[in-house]
Structure 1
Amino acid sequence: MKKILLLALPLAILASSCGRFGNKEIDGKKDMRIVCLSKQLTEYVFALGKGHNIVAVDLSSTYPDSAKLLKTVGYHRALAPEPIIAMNPDLVIHSNDIGPENVLPQITKAGLNIKAFGGANTIDSAKLLLKELGKFFGTENKADSLVKVLDAGIAKAADTLKAMGIKDSLRVMIIHFGLRNNNYFVMSGRNGVGDKMIRLAGCTPATYDGKGSREMSAEAVALSNPDVIIATDYGYDKMGSMDKFIATVPGVALTNAGKNRRVVRFEEHDLIYFGPRSGDNIIKLINLLHNPASAPTK
């Protein structure tokens, strides 16, 4: 009877009975098998020269290109424990934004080592995260260099904007297609990273009074009336052209952006955290938002 009951136990409970790692603190300076459940952590670990330790990532980890070659364990907000456990990791790292709520207790109970790092929602927090990871991996000098790259990039973007002598502030909205909800929603208007980058690009986030990712309000989009809409790449490509995006996404055709065909395409993940590439990304935004000739025409 005991053998039958043992075979019926869930994988996570069986793993916890083994306690292979015991959730003890491990030495980040040694090579290990890491499952990374955060796109910014993936980019940062590669930038610190430790990307060879990562054996699997979540679906949102698409930078650098090397990350696209790794196995994936699901979307970071809709994870299941089994794919993570199956990677036999020495360490699982995340940024306190994984879900559903039960997945973290399950992989903890399975005996995996788990370590949470900070976010990168501001320039200062991005620099702190780089230093935190640098200390953990024993790459402090590299982390300091990346912090300098970040600062220099932001300064260069500010100089680029100043040199353009822009006086009028365009109202800008970010519209994203969420894979988890299988729907378009407005990413901007809530003082997130996207809004901060819009401001750094010399524009103003269009005010959006809607229901976020649960439901996109055509009326709220129309009332916000952005001059330019940033469509994240997957959602833009899903429509196949600017005209289809304008005609199909709720409320867009009623805005100045829709009427003047001012919809630009941008990589989603470059708008939702800061990092060493942020200066270059802001300069790209400056050129897209203030130079209509650089926008897609199809």
Structure 2
Amino acid sequence: MRYSHWLPVALALTACGRFGATPNHRDGLRVVSVSKQLTEIVFAVGGDTALVGVDISSTYPPAAKKITTVGYHRALNAEGIISLNPSVVWNDGNWGPPAVIDQLRKVGIPLRQFDGGESIDSTKRLIRQVAQEFHNPRAGDSICARLDADMDRADSVRKTLKDAPRVLIIHFGQAANQYFVLNRKGIPEKMLEWAGAVNAADTAQKWRNLSPEVIAEAQPDVILATDYGYDLQGSLEKFKQLPGISLSPAARNNRIYRIEEHDLVYLGPRTGQNVLELIQLIHQR
């Protein structure tokens, strides 16, 4: 995780090499990955030389930003994918639109869906599966062992905590005086639980636009602002002044932190490390 207040380089939204680099290829395998979780795992097991394209949300590790992008994973560009001449498109089932998927099937590009990754156990199975694809099972075993050790350490630290701060996760910051907030479901909720925190949001959907009044009523002790929304404001002081947020204990006590979205919304090789860093951040340890 990175908690700096610097504005990152904007990501291109169309199929392009973000930094003009051309990846190497291995054994003729040319993979387009349209899942940021899969992309990180591919890098972790040493299969990144096979990646010829990724979706725009695949921003970790930093080297992923050097690979040609094919659009947002739910708004992909068929022509961009086809132009890369992939031998397969890897996905997690959460991609589209359907017309693009149909077009890829029509031109004969194989589509491979990987399942799992919603729990630590299923994430380890996914890591081992991807490692096997690159004939590197030892890497998969090593990564899983490290993940277990990190999660055990995080659990031990959590048990020593004396309080449970109320935390609000704001995704994409402000849009038309509405805030995109993560509620008490899914992986972000698990991350907060593992970090010994309570989700201050209480909404009926996983993603929900809330008014400034509701944000103020939630009275979060800590606000985690995902990178894109935080960077739209450009600084902590400007983010603190947003309607609703300015009335929160988090703003009064300067407990608003920039956090990378990918560290909260999916599980992967670094999840245990991310939980430990969340603990340090939220509890100021």
When normalised by structure 1's length, the TM-score is 0.80
The reply to whether residue 276 of structure 1 matches residue 269 of structure 2 is yes
**Correspondent of 1:171 among 166, 176, 193:** 166
* Cα distance, 1:169 vs structure 2: 0.9
The reply to whether residue 200 of structure 1 matches residue 194 of structure 2 is yes
Query: How many matched pairs?
Result: 260
**Correspondent of 2:149 among 152, 156, 167:** 152
The reply to whether residue 227 of structure 1 matches residue 221 of structure 2 is yes
> Does the aligned pair in 1 maintain the 2:182–2:208 contact within 8 Å?
no
* Cα distance, 1:178 vs structure 2: 7.6
- Which ranges of structure 2 fall in alignment gaps of 5 or more residues? 1-25
The reply to whether residue 188 of structure 1 matches residue 182 of structure 2 is yes
Counting only pairs closer than 5 Å after superposition, residues 203-214 of structure 1 correspond to structure 2 as 203-209=197-203, 213=207
The change in CA–CA distance for 1:254 and 1:160 in structure 2 (over 3 A counts) is: same
- Which ranges of structure 1 fall in alignment gaps of 5 or more residues? 1-28
The change in CA–CA distance for 1:38 and 1:58 in structure 2 (over 3 A counts) is: same
Deviations 1:14-61 (A, max 9, x none): xxxxxxxxxxxxxxx944111110111111111111110001111111
RMSD: 2.3
* Cα distance, 1:259 vs structure 2: 2.8
The change in CA–CA distance for 1:184 and 1:142 in structure 2 (over 3 A counts) is: farther
* 1:24 matched residue in structure 2: none
* 2:14 matched residue in structure 1: none
* Cα distance, 1:147 vs structure 2: 0.9
* 2:158 matched residue in structure 1: 161
The reply to whether residue 58 of structure 1 matches residue 58 of structure 2 is no
Counting only pairs closer than 5 Å after superposition, residues 19-58 of structure 1 correspond to structure 2 as 30-58=27-55
The change in CA–CA distance for 1:228 and 1:277 in structure 2 (over 3 A counts) is: same
* 2:238 matched residue in structure 1: 244
* 1:5 matched residue in structure 2: none
**Percent of aligned pairs sharing the same letter:** 44
The reply to whether residue 263 of structure 1 matches residue 256 of structure 2 is yes
> Does the aligned pair in 1 maintain the 2:171–2:182 contact within 8 Å?
no
> Does the aligned pair in 2 maintain the 1:188–1:206 contact within 8 Å?
no
**Correspondent of 2:73 among 53, 76, 83:** 76
* 2:109 matched residue in structure 1: 112
Letter in 2 for 1:229: I
Deviations 1:93-150 (A, max 9, x none): 0111112232211211121011000142321221121122223332222211111111
Partner Cα distance (2:127, 2:176) in 1: 33
Deviations 1:150-203 (A, max 9, x none): 1011112122334xx322211111111189x89964442232211111111111
The change in CA–CA distance for 1:171 and 1:275 in structure 2 (over 3 A counts) is: same
* 1:15 matched residue in structure 2: none
Partner Cα distance (2:96, 2:173) in 1: 15
The change in CA–CA distance for 1:237 and 1:79 in structure 2 (over 3 A counts) is: same
> Does the aligned pair in 2 maintain the 1:210–1:217 contact within 8 Å?
no
Partner Cα distance (1:92, 1:185) in 2: 33
* 1:123 matched residue in structure 2: 120
The change in CA–CA distance for 1:216 and 1:119 in structure 2 (over 3 A counts) is: farther
Partner Cα distance (2:135, 2:219) in 1: 49
When normalised by structure 2's length, the TM-score is 0.84
> Does the aligned pair in 2 maintain the 1:122–1:273 contact within 8 Å?
no
Partner Cα distance (2:157, 2:76) in 1: 41
* 1:4 matched residue in structure 2: none
The reply to whether residue 286 of structure 1 matches residue 279 of structure 2 is yes
The change in CA–CA distance for 1:202 and 1:158 in structure 2 (over 3 A counts) is: same
> Does the aligned pair in 2 maintain the 1:175–1:184 contact within 8 Å?
no
Partner Cα distance (1:85, 1:201) in 2: 42
**Structure showing the higher helix proportion among its residues:** 1
Letter in 1 for 2:162: K
Counting only pairs closer than 5 Å after superposition, residues 83-94 of structure 1 correspond to structure 2 as 83-94=80-91
